[in-house]
């Protein structure tokens, strides 16, 4: 009797503390995982006589549809029994070529393509890309699937919903691959996480073009991640739980556009922009060191460290504003935070999205409440949260018995 598997994984969103934009110019950056998470459940379904299907439910992007898995396999899978190669070497995938094939398949199998918006299209492309990337040179996918994704993260606001989504997709599919090839581990090990992050990075290229990789690394590893492009992420051995207010400016923005805006500014002001990027890199390095000191059990001077961190947050924001990636709403949020004596900066690409306010432990709750009331009165949404929780987690594996009609008949 064969088994049908259910796999449930979750992954956090992220907040870039220091190094947005400058990370793309090879500067050190620091990001932390958020308490808000994406959750993905993938279920293998009992065989039916209608052929193999994938039932997709992505409520965060208002998408519900059923795709023919047989068609996907016909168009994107290459028949082979070799399951030990591509899924273990995501970096060897020819991204452009694979995405081209995915897009051709997408055009052919989605009937209501004209009714999908760009967000839904992106989610489906990511799904097809990873599904066929991981299973594409195996014969392992032999059941219909149902895949449901939910998230507490706002989609498209700079808190890493796309990376969190991509990490969940790759984590669940890698786990399913392992289960179906006989490996039954109950949690992700370091090797799994390296693979998950690398597949999620490939997927982030679909959404962002040339991402630095900081988002997928943070959503995979959690806690605080120090990051430099092209290098292994620096995983913090320390546990700092920074308290922040996450303030939604409600202004939508597109990362790609803001990255292009900075690149354009740099074309005409190379040395000045390079110096700003250098300064952002120094800030990120200093902030990482301070957070390391703050986490030490015998930390004596926590108040002075928080003051220093606040200084760095404020400087970092002003440097980003000088690159043209702030927004009047972000400036208003910052002005209100400063009136309350608190440091505030934009996070992520800027141009809208979120601002973050640092709440040191010595700050009175009445101050936080007053700040919150004013911001909410101005129409912003405020979440009081902590940075630095778990990265990707394997939450649940269920193995059910498959009622195989052919097996029954033969008995
Ligand atoms: N929960 C989700 N379900 C389906 N797709 C998602 C989900 N979260 C994010 N996405 C995909 O990620 C994209 C958002 O990426 P992006 O604009 O970079 O936002 P963020 O800054 O939040 O990562 C969306 O266009 C969507 O395709
Ligand atoms: C501007 C950038 O440094 C950060 C983008 O952040 P977000 O995904 O918009 O939160 C781009 C990147 O690191 O890929």
The answer to whether residues 261 and 214 belong to one domain is no
Report how far residue 23's alpha carbon sits from residue 281's, in angstroms, rounded to the nearest whole number: 8
Q: Is 13 in the pocket of ligand 1 (CB under 6 A)?
A: no
Strands (E), 184-342: 224-227, 234-235, 243-248
pLDDT, tens only, 255-306: 889 999 999 999 999 999 999 999 999 999 999 999 999 888 788 889 999 9
State in Å: Cα 270 to ligand 2 middle: 20
Whether the Cβ atoms of residue 26 and residue 19 lie closer than 8 Å to each other: no
The answer to whether residues 398 and 374 belong to one domain is no
User: Is 364 contained in some domain?
Assistant: yes
The answer to whether residues 219 and 273 belong to one domain is no
- Indicate the pLDDT class of residue 92, thresholds 50, 70 and 90: confident
Mean pLDDT value of segment 80-87: 64
The answer to whether residues 161 and 72 belong to one domain is yes
**What is the number of structural domains in the chain?**
2
Whether residue 81 has pLDDT greater than 70: no
* The pLDDT of residue 401: 86
pLDDT, tens only, 182-237: 888 889 999 999 999 999 999 999 988 888 899 999 999 999 999 999 898 988 87
- Indicate the pLDDT class of residue 405, thresholds 50, 70 and 90: low
User: Is 76 contained in some domain?
Assistant: yes
* The pLDDT of residue 410: 44
The answer to whether residues 317 and 396 belong to one domain is no
Report how far residue 246's alpha carbon sits from residue 381's, in angstroms, rounded to the nearest whole number: 8
* The pLDDT of residue 287: 97
Whether the Cβ atoms of residue 31 and residue 214 lie closer than 8 Å to each other: yes
* The pLDDT of residue 281: 98
Q: What mean pLDDT, rounded, does the chain reach?
A: 92
The active-site residue, picked from 151, 162, 212, 249, is: 162
What is the total residue count of the chain? 411
Q: What ipTM was predicted for this assembly?
A: 0.95
Whether the Cβ atoms of residue 299 and residue 305 lie closer than 8 Å to each other: yes
* The pLDDT of residue 407: 47
Strands (E), 19-113: 29-45, 53-58, 63-68
76: containing domain:
3-228+390-410
The answer to whether residues 133 and 269 belong to one domain is no
The answer to whether residues 221 and 247 belong to one domain is no
Report how far residue 380's alpha carbon sits from residue 195's, in angstroms, rounded to the nearest whole number: 38
User: Is 237 contained in some domain?
Assistant: no
Give the distance, in angstroms, between the CA of residue 176 and the centroid of all CA atoms in the same chain: 20
The answer to whether residues 9 and 80 belong to one domain is yes
Q: Please say if 197 is a catalytic residue.
A: no
Mean pLDDT value of segment 393-397: 96
Whether the Cβ atoms of residue 349 and residue 255 lie closer than 8 Å to each other: yes
Report how far residue 28's alpha carbon sits from residue 234's, in angstroms, rounded to the nearest whole number: 10
User: Is 177 contained in some domain?
Assistant: yes
User: Is 114 contained in some domain?
Assistant: yes
**59 DSSP 8-state letter:** G
The active-site residue, picked from 215, 223, 248, 249, is: 215
Mean pLDDT value of segment 60-85: 84
User: Is 234 contained in some domain?
Assistant: no
State in Å: Cα 105 to ligand 1 middle: 21
State in Å: Cα 207 to ligand 2 middle: 11
* The pLDDT of residue 404: 63
The answer to whether residues 301 and 210 belong to one domain is no
Mean pLDDT value of segment 9-20: 97
User: Is 258 contained in some domain?
Assistant: yes
pLDDT, tens only, 45-60: 987 888 999 999 999 9
Q: Please say if 162 is a catalytic residue.
A: yes
Burial (CB < 10 A; 0-12, 13-18, 19+), residue 214, is buried
The answer to whether residues 169 and 129 belong to one domain is yes
pLDDT more than 90, % of the chain: 76
The answer to whether residues 318 and 205 belong to one domain is no
The answer to whether residues 223 and 257 belong to one domain is no
pLDDT more than 70, % of the chain: 96
Atom of ligand 2 nearest to the CA of 208: 14
């Amino acid at each position: 009797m064969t088994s049908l598997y259910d796999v449930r994984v979750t992954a956090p969103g992220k907040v870039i503390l220091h190094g947005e934009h400058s990370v793309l110019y090879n500067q050190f950056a620091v990001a932390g995982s958020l308490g808000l998470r994406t959750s993905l459940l993938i279920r293998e379904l009992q065989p039916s006589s209608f052929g193999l299907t994938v039932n997709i439910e992505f409520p965060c992007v208002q998408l519900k549809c059923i795709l023919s898995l047989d068609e996907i396999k016909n168009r994107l899978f290459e028949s082979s029994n070799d399951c030990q190669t591509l899924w273990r070497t995501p970096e060897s995938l020819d991204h452009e070529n694979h995405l081209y094939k995915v897009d051709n398949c997408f055009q052919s199998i989605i009937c209501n393509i004209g009714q999908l918006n760009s967000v839904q299209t992106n989610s489906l492309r990511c799904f097809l890309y990873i599904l066929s990337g991981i299973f594409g040179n195996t014969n392992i996918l032999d059941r219909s699937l149902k895949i449901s994704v939910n998230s507490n993260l706002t989609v498209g606001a700079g808190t890493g919903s796309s990376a969190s989504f991509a990490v969940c997709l790759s984590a669940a599919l890698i786990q399913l691959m392992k289960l179906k090839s006989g490996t039954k581990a109950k949690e992700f090990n370091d090797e799994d996480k390296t693979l998950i992050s690398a597949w999620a990075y490939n997927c982030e290229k679909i959404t962002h073009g040339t991402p630095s990789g900081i988002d997928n690394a943070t959503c995979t590893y959690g806690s605080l991640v120090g990051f430099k492009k092209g290098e292994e992420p620096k995983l913090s051995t320390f546990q700092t739980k920074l308290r922040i207010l996450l303030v939604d400016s409600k202004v939508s923005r597109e990362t790609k556009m803001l990255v292009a805006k900075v690149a354009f500014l740099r074309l005409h002001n190379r040395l000045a922009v390079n110096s700003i990027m250098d300064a952002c890199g120094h800030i990120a390095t200093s902030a990482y060191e301070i957070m390391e000191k703050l986490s030490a059990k015998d930390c004596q001077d926590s108040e002075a460290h928080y003051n220093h961190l606040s200084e760095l947050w404020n400087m970092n924001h002003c440097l980003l504003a000088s690159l043209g990636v702030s927004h009047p709403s972000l400036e208003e949020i910052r002005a209100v935070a400063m009136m309350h004596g608190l440091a505030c900066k934009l996070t992520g690409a800027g141009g809208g999205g979120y601002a973050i306010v640092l709440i040191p432990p010595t700050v009175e709750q009445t101050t936080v409440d007053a700040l919150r009331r004013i911001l909410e009165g101005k129409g912003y949404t405020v979440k009081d949260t902590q940075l630095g929780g778990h990265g990707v987690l394997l939450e649940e594996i269920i193995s059910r018995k498959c009622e195989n009609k052919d097996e029954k008949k033969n008995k």
